[in-house]
Structure 1
Amino acid sequence: MAADPNWRSRGAAKRQATLDTIPEKWRLQDPVPPATEVPNVTGAYIQQYLSKREIEITESDAVDIAAQTTSGTWSAVEVTEAFCHRAALAHQLVSCLHEIFFDAAIEDAKKLDAYFAEHKAPIGPLHGLPVSLKDQFHVKGVETTMGYVGWINTFQGKSNDSRRTVQESELTRELRNLGAVLYCKTSVPATLMAGETVNNIIGYTWNPTNRLLSCGGSSGGEGALIALRGSPGGFGTDIGGSVRIPAGFNNLYGLRPSAGRIPYEGAANSMDGQNSILSVIGPLAPTARSLTFLFKAVLSQEPWYHDPLVLELPWRDEIVQETCSLIKRAGTGVPSLAFGLMNYNGVGRIHPPIARGMKLVEQTLRRLGHKVITWYPPSHATAHELANQIYGMDGGVDMMHHFGLSGEKKAPQVLLLEEGIELKASSIADINIVKREYQKRYMDYWNSTVELTGTGRPVDGVFCPLASHAAVIPGQYGNVGYTSFVNVLDYTSVAIPVTFADKDVDVRPANKSAAELEDYIEWDYDAKTYDGAPVGVQLMGRRLQEEKILTIAEYIGKEIAQDLN
């Protein structure tokens, strides 16, 4: 397809078409105040447009909603309409949606209600639960642009492809089987390779808690929508932090599972076929138990029979029970859990709110009686370099092809280089060997911590920042080194909300010299601008330890919240 010299007008037309799908009754009549006047549009601000009943429904978490809809207490239609309304508001406030298909969702909800009326039972555990999807997942009757102007009215950039608006991704099919209601697809940065969400269709997606800041990326639309409770939970993807970063930037939980647990089959992607670091799918939600609920539901569909890359690994209750038994030992004098803490990765120094967030985590762990050790792993600078080499293996060919379909310009936030060097097979093999050797060194180091924990086991998990900063000032995202090392290792990781940046608290510590602070704090920090930005951390476990890490995340997340109240 030849480049379109009118790509700006095509992007604008698509943007307007999305807005036009919002029902008239849900459109804001007055202009949204500028971010300088009203930075935070969560909570009371968005609630002013909703009924008490809508607030009750949309501010319940996925577990509670499903309990109501699967018992017939709440109708699927009422719940769906409430979330469609709130999602419509969210989009008008922060530009977080690519695709809106509320009418189809309400029709699906009517069918679910009719099924329940006839059978007195739900279709599945997600019966009547609205679920949002990042705009990589194909949904029948709905376009997928993934932020590329050149993908408008095509199938992944291919004109006259019969799969357009007909094909569904494997995860989409499974969610329908489980009874979920699909109603919108959320914004992404074109290429997916950015820590902020911006493209030439939707523009910039802002952070709902502080609209002067970014919502993160690449699952940024998911993060922003769920932060505004326009969704009780949704699915994003993560190749370098793209689930965890938006979760952390939006005061949410987000899971990056190891490769092979959630099906990626039939989803659009960048650099498809690059297998040195696999992109994985993970849920985002306001509560940790919602992540577990969604993750467990997908596994119940036995995705290993439908995606050749999924491992035959059902949900393991025995690991949950074992982890809970260790948690119960806390404070009894019997060895319980042990954790590594890493404040600085040797790549990017952290801002004061992140330092405080990590200190809060440490204080909570010590209060609970868990063993805490300082984490001194193999160089994370090595992992950061490996990740960058892998992301650029094709020399930018895939990116430039898809931008070239329309002739559009890439945003400066995109991490990939234009006209890089496309690696040959032997060079890729060399990188894969270095990666494997690094994974082995990291594994050996983890094993060695058994000598320090006093539990008879190595550490159960590692806490570290998600980024050098809280939800970031647009254009100032440093690097993904705090998250991409997890992808290099293919470990399990969960983002956990901790606190919010405070301009009066997160300042240079008294009586500390620049030399004393040099090892971990970067003083390009603007306390006033960052005020109110969510601060999250991540809890990392070993490969395929989703059951264990989700269980710990729910436990520690509640304890951190208790310490702050």
Structure 2
Amino acid sequence: MVVDWQTLAKEKRDSVNALIPKAWLLPSPVPPASEQRDVTGKYIQQFLSPAEIEITETDAVGIVKNTTSAKWKARDVAEAFCHRAALAHQMVNCLHEIFFDAAIADAQRLDEYYAKHGKPTGPLHGLPVSLKDQFHVKDVETTMGYVGWIGTFEGKKGLGKEKVFESEMVTELRNLGAILYCKTSVPHTLMAGETVNNIIGYTWNPKNRNLACGGSSGGEGALIGLKGSPVGFGTDIGGSIRIPAAFNGLFGIRPSSGRLPYEGMANSMDGQNSTLSVVGPLATSVGALKLVIKALLTQEPWLHDPLVAEIPWRDEQEQAVLDIVNASGGGQLAFGVSKSDGIVNCQPPVRRAIDIVVKTAEKLGHKVFEWNPPSHKRCLEIAFKTWFYDGGADVHAAFALSGEPMASQIKSSYGTLKDQFTASEIAANNVAKRAYQKEYMEYWNSTSKITGTGRPIDAVIAPLAPFAAARPDMYSYYGLSTWVNMVDYSAAVLPVTLVDKTIDVVDEGYQPLNEQDEKVHLAYDPELYDGAHVALQIVGRRFQEEKVLAITEILGDAWSRALRELGSSTPKHPLKHHANFL
């Protein structure tokens, strides 16, 4: 019997929702965004006990400190995060898979091990970790948002891998003592900055439910934004870690390709190697990002993933930054600042965030220079070709499995099958990419002539989207994030402030640069955006993850410290009430 896609989707959706314990169901539906825009903080706390709030609002570093010392039971931590994740899903639609029972059983085994041996199982003992629905986990399905993948292994039947196979990083996380308990929502195809599919619908931004949570690791961003997870892993081929991190006020990092293991994960257009998707963490602190990356690298993933480079965690790279900053007389870092790529300008809240971070760096005694790299227009022309090498064949084949329609966010790019690139055309694009990377590299090298530090620019302060978050079906420009993927640099997200409608007013009389820029300008509505998170990216060179995280932490800590000194408990009003800072 042929089952229509709507029925399959509903059965899958209902089966996942049925795994939420009845005691954790919300007593009534969440009010519409017009009545309850923000479901973070006190709103979700009302459904939790004081002990659950304490556990779930502790960052990953604090959790591990407590679980590895037996101050907290791994089971109590797992149950608290499972409960909060269940609430988060009911509020914003952020989960694809729930395996709370298995997680609690795993946590119980960790507690029994600790009681017997008097020590933790590993450096992540008892740490709950959420996963984007690209990771294969034993006894759990992977749909990646495709109705046609339900009941299959990546759309295929009879392989013997369904609910048995595990991705390499999943194995490593288990070895380290992490507790895996849910997989998070994605846009089908993964190729969108919003998260929507025909199984669960649309995933909303928990801080401002008028807006997108980002994509394609959008469920991760929304879940961690609601503190339903202390740390999770997403992937990034054009901004898909950084965008959800930014839209949800989180820290995140897009490592260079080959730093962390991607082996055994589901993907779209697998085999397209010109611009590789990479895996990386999102979390509520820089310390959490460092914790899980350090731990994973102790597993020597280069022995199990042929694309991972043998680069253990390098304390010396982080220490080099600290030595500069702590040098007697005040050491100086040098930053490039990019306010626009010349194609699209940023909306007012993002421009204000750039000013805040630049002034923060300058107040610390660091130097800031205008960033004028090789043409980003040319960069994007090369990058976007890589996503269409197969003319959309992979995407169309996945949709054809069930006959489900594409979401409009996908249809705008992949709605029509195109001619596939020839081998010669792909080779030519790879040559153009390599030439552009070389040109960008030499530009960065040339900045040593202007910094006065004896070094080139240490990192670039840049926007990663022209808006604080996208409005539904209005993510019209990806260039501000995608250039990083093209040159394969390390980039971390730095949360900065919140949109304030009284400060971030519309640019009256604005003259758009072009049609794309006009769309971005017209999409801004201060009233609608009020309260949304605003973040930037800190970009370093290839394989400079340790350095980028150190710089991100320095800037973030300095801005937080400045707010405290100025008497503000929230970053929402740094200009309104503390204009003297800028």
Q: TM-score, normalised by structure 2?
A: 0.94
Which AA in structure 1 matches 2:562? D
Instruction: Report what 1:554 is aligned to.
Output: 553
Cα distance in 1 between the residues matched to 2:311 and 2:492: 19
Secondary structure at 1:209 match in 2? coil
Cα distance in 2 between the residues matched to 1:335 and 1:229: 36
1:46 alignment partner, one of 44, 47, 66: 44
Instruction: Report what 1:136 is aligned to.
Output: 134
Q: Which moved more, 1:269-278 or 1:499-508?
A: 499-508
Q: Is the 8 A contact 2:474 2:523 kept in 1?
A: no
Cα distance in 2 between the residues matched to 1:483 and 1:69: 37
Which AA in structure 1 matches 2:15? A
Name the % identity: 57
Q: Is the 8 A contact 2:506 2:525 kept in 1?
A: no
Cα distance in 1 between the residues matched to 2:488 and 2:330: 32
2:359 alignment partner, one of 358, 363, 375: 363
Instruction: Report what 1:372 is aligned to.
Output: 368
Which AA in structure 1 matches 2:219? G
Cα distance in 2 between the residues matched to 1:411 and 1:201: 11
- CA positional deviation for 1:562: 2.6
Instruction: Report what 2:487 is aligned to.
Output: 489
- CA positional deviation for 1:13: 1.3
**Cα displacement string for residues 142-192 of structure 1 (whole angstroms, at most 9, x for unaligned residues):** 000000000000000002220000000000000000000000000000000
- CA positional deviation for 1:523: 4.5
The alignment status of 1:398 with 2:394, answered yes or no, reads yes
Q: TM-score, normalised by structure 1?
A: 0.97
Cα distance in 1 between the residues matched to 2:169 and 2:512: 49
Q: Is the 8 A contact 2:330 2:365 kept in 1?
A: no
Cα distance in 1 between the residues matched to 2:511 and 2:193: 30
- CA positional deviation for 1:516: 10
Secondary structure at 2:96 match in 1? strand
Aligned length: 559
Cα distance in 1 between the residues matched to 2:74 and 2:371: 47
- CA positional deviation for 1:514: 3.5
The alignment status of 1:341 with 2:337, answered yes or no, reads yes
- CA positional deviation for 1:513: 5.6
- CA positional deviation for 1:411: 0.8
1:428 alignment partner, one of 426, 429, 445: 426
2:222 alignment partner, one of 211, 224, 235: 224
Structure 2 CA distance for partners of 1:410 and 1:523, relative to 1, 3 Å: closer
Instruction: Report what 1:75 is aligned to.
Output: 73
Secondary structure at 1:514 match in 2? coil
Cα distance in 2 between the residues matched to 1:438 and 1:397: 28
Instruction: Report what 1:244 is aligned to.
Output: 242
**Cα displacement string for residues 39-88 of structure 1 (whole angstroms, at most 9, x for unaligned residues):** 10000000000000000000000000000001111000000000000000
2:93 alignment partner, one of 77, 92, 95: 95
- CA positional deviation for 1:539: 0.3
Cα distance in 2 between the residues matched to 1:452 and 1:101: 54
Instruction: Report what 1:451 is aligned to.
Output: 449
Secondary structure at 1:133 match in 2? strand
Q: Is the 8 A contact 1:341 1:375 kept in 2?
A: yes
Which AA in structure 2 matches 1:434? A
Secondary structure at 1:183 match in 2? strand
The alignment status of 1:385 with 2:386, answered yes or no, reads no
Cα distance in 2 between the residues matched to 1:355 and 1:146: 34
Q: Is the 8 A contact 1:91 1:97 kept in 2?
A: yes
Q: Which moved more, 1:93-102 or 1:387-396?
A: 387-396
Structure 2 CA distance for partners of 1:137 and 1:516, relative to 1, 3 Å: closer
- CA positional deviation for 1:5: 6.2
Q: Is the 8 A contact 1:300 1:314 kept in 2?
A: yes
Cα distance in 1 between the residues matched to 2:198 and 2:140: 19
- CA positional deviation for 1:412: 1.2
**How does 1:92-241 map onto structure 2 within 5 Å?**
92-241=90-239
- CA positional deviation for 1:139: 0.4
- CA positional deviation for 1:303: 0.3
- CA positional deviation for 1:313: 0.6
Q: Is the 8 A contact 1:99 1:186 kept in 2?
A: yes
Cα distance in 1 between the residues matched to 2:125 and 2:331: 41
Which AA in structure 2 matches 1:379? S
Q: Is the 8 A contact 1:351 1:523 kept in 2?
A: no
Structure 2 CA distance for partners of 1:562 and 1:420, relative to 1, 3 Å: farther
Instruction: Report what 2:82 is aligned to.
Output: 84
Cα distance in 2 between the residues matched to 1:213 and 1:548: 32
Which AA in structure 2 matches 1:514? Y
Q: Is the 8 A contact 1:193 1:416 kept in 2?
A: no
**How does 1:27-38 map onto structure 2 within 5 Å?**
27-38=25-36
- CA positional deviation for 1:452: 1.1
The alignment status of 1:408 with 2:404, answered yes or no, reads yes
**Cα displacement string for residues 76-119 of structure 1 (whole angstroms, at most 9, x for unaligned residues):** 00000000000000000000000000000000001100110111
Which AA in structure 2 matches 1:542? R
Q: Is the 8 A contact 1:466 1:483 kept in 2?
A: yes
Q: Is the 8 A contact 1:498 1:561 kept in 2?
A: no
Which AA in structure 2 matches 1:560? W
Instruction: Report what 1:310 is aligned to.
Output: 308
Instruction: Report what 1:544 is aligned to.
Output: 543
Where do 5+ consecutive residues of structure 2 fail to align?
A: 569-582
Which AA in structure 1 matches 2:39? V
Q: Is the 8 A contact 1:335 1:454 kept in 2?
A: no
Q: Which moved more, 1:50-59 or 1:471-480?
A: 471-480
Q: Is the 8 A contact 1:352 1:508 kept in 2?
A: yes
Instruction: Report what 2:253 is aligned to.
Output: 255
Which AA in structure 2 matches 1:547? E
Where do 5+ consecutive residues of structure 1 fail to align?
A: none
